[in-house]
Amino acid sequence: MIDKPPVEDFATGWDHADAQWVADPYPIWDDLRGRCPVAHTDRYGGGWFPSTHAGVSQIANDTINFTSRTVIINNGRPGEDAMPAPIGVAPPISSDPPFHQIARRLILPAFAPGPINALEPRVRSLCVDLLDRLDGHEVVNGGTEYAQYIPPAVISRMLGFPEADEDLFREFVHIVIGGIDLPEQQRIEEFQPIEEYFTAQIEDHQANPRDDLTSYLLNVEVGGEKLALEHVFGTMILVLIAGIDTSWSAIGASLWHLAKSPHDLERLVNEPELMPFAIEEFLRFYAPVTMARLVKQDMEYLGCPMKEYDWILLGFPAANRDPAAFKDANRFIIDRQENRHLAFGLGIHRCAGSNLARLELRVAIEEFIKRYPRFELADPSAVTWAPGQIRGPRNLPIRILR
Partner 1 sequence: MKVSIDAERCQGHGRCFSLAPGLFDFDDLGNGVVIGDGVLSDETLELARLAQANCPEHAIFIEE
Binding site for partner 1 (CB under 8 A): 105, 108-109, 111-114, 276, 280, 337-342, 344, 346-348, 350, 354-355, 358
User: How many beta carbons lie within 10 A of that of residue 108, not counting itself?
Assistant: 11
68 binding ligand HEM? (CB under 6 A): yes
The listed partner (ligand HEM, partner 1, none) that binds 341, CB under 5 to 8 Å by sort, is partner 1
Query: Which residue is nearest to ligand HEM, using beta carbons?
Result: 353
Name the residue nearer to partner 1 (CB basis): 4 or 350: 350
Strand ranges inside 185-262, DSSP E:
221-222, 225-226
Q: C-beta of 55: minimal distance to ligand HEM in Å?
A: 14
| Residue 353 backbone dihedrals phi, psi, to 5 degrees | -95, 15
The listed partner (partner 1, ligand HEM, none) that binds 257, CB under 5 to 8 Å by sort, is none
Q: Which of 47, 92, 152, 160 binds ligand HEM (CB under 6 A)?
A: 92
Taking the C-alpha atoms of residue 72 and residue 101, their distance in angstroms, rounded to an integer, is 21
Strand 47-50 and strand 311-314: the pairing is: parallel
351 binding ligand HEM? (CB under 6 A): yes
Return the range that interacts with ligand HEM (CB under 6 A); candidates 169-177, 191-199, 333-341, 350-358.
Answer: 350-358
In DSSP terms, which residues pair with 376 in a beta bridge? 399
Burial code (b: 16+ CB inside 10 Å, e: under 16) for 208-246 equals eeeebbbbbbbeeeeeeeebeeebbbbbbbbbbbbbbbb
Name the residue nearer to partner 1 (CB basis): 204 or 280: 280
364 binding ligand HEM? (CB under 6 A): no
Q: Angle at CA 182, nearest 5°, toward 176 and 187?
A: 50
Q: Angle at CA 166, nearest 5°, toward 162 and 172?
A: 115
160 binding ligand HEM? (CB under 6 A): no
What residue type is assigned to position 367 of the chain? Answer: E
295 binding ligand HEM? (CB under 6 A): no
Taking the C-alpha atoms of residue 185 and residue 188, their distance in angstroms, rounded to an integer, is 5
Name the residue nearer to partner 1 (CB basis): 111 or 169: 111
What residue type is assigned to position 180 of the chain? Answer: I
Grouping H, G, I as helix, E, B as strand and the rest as coil, residue 117 is helix
Strand ranges inside 120-266, DSSP E:
139-141, 221-222, 225-226
Q: C-beta of 127: minimal distance to ligand HEM in Å?
A: 15
In DSSP terms, which residues pair with 305 in a beta bridge? 300
For the chain, give percent helix, strand, coil, nearest 5. 55, 10, 35
Return the range that interacts with ligand HEM (CB under 6 A); candidates 11-19, 42-50, 136-144, 284-292.
Answer: 284-292
Name the residue nearer to partner 1 (CB basis): 284 or 391: 284
Q: C-beta of 370: minimal distance to partner 1 in Å?
A: 21
Return the range that interacts with ligand HEM (CB under 6 A); candidates 179-187, 299-307, 322-330, 337-345.
Answer: 337-345
Q: C-beta of 222: minimal distance to partner 1 in Å?
A: 15
Q: C-beta of 86: minimal distance to ligand HEM in Å?
A: 12
Grouping H, G, I as helix, E, B as strand and the rest as coil, residue 205 is helix
C-beta of residue 41 within 8 angstroms of C-beta of residue 47: yes
318 binding ligand HEM? (CB under 6 A): no
Q: Which of 7, 153, 357, 396 binds ligand HEM (CB under 6 A)?
A: 357
Q: Which of 50, 76, 234, 353 binds ligand HEM (CB under 6 A)?
A: 353
Q: C-beta of 343: minimal distance to partner 1 in Å?
A: 9
Binding site for ligand HEM (CB under 6 A): 68, 71, 92-93, 104, 155, 238-239, 242-243, 246-247, 250, 288-289, 291, 316, 343-345, 349, 351-353, 356-357
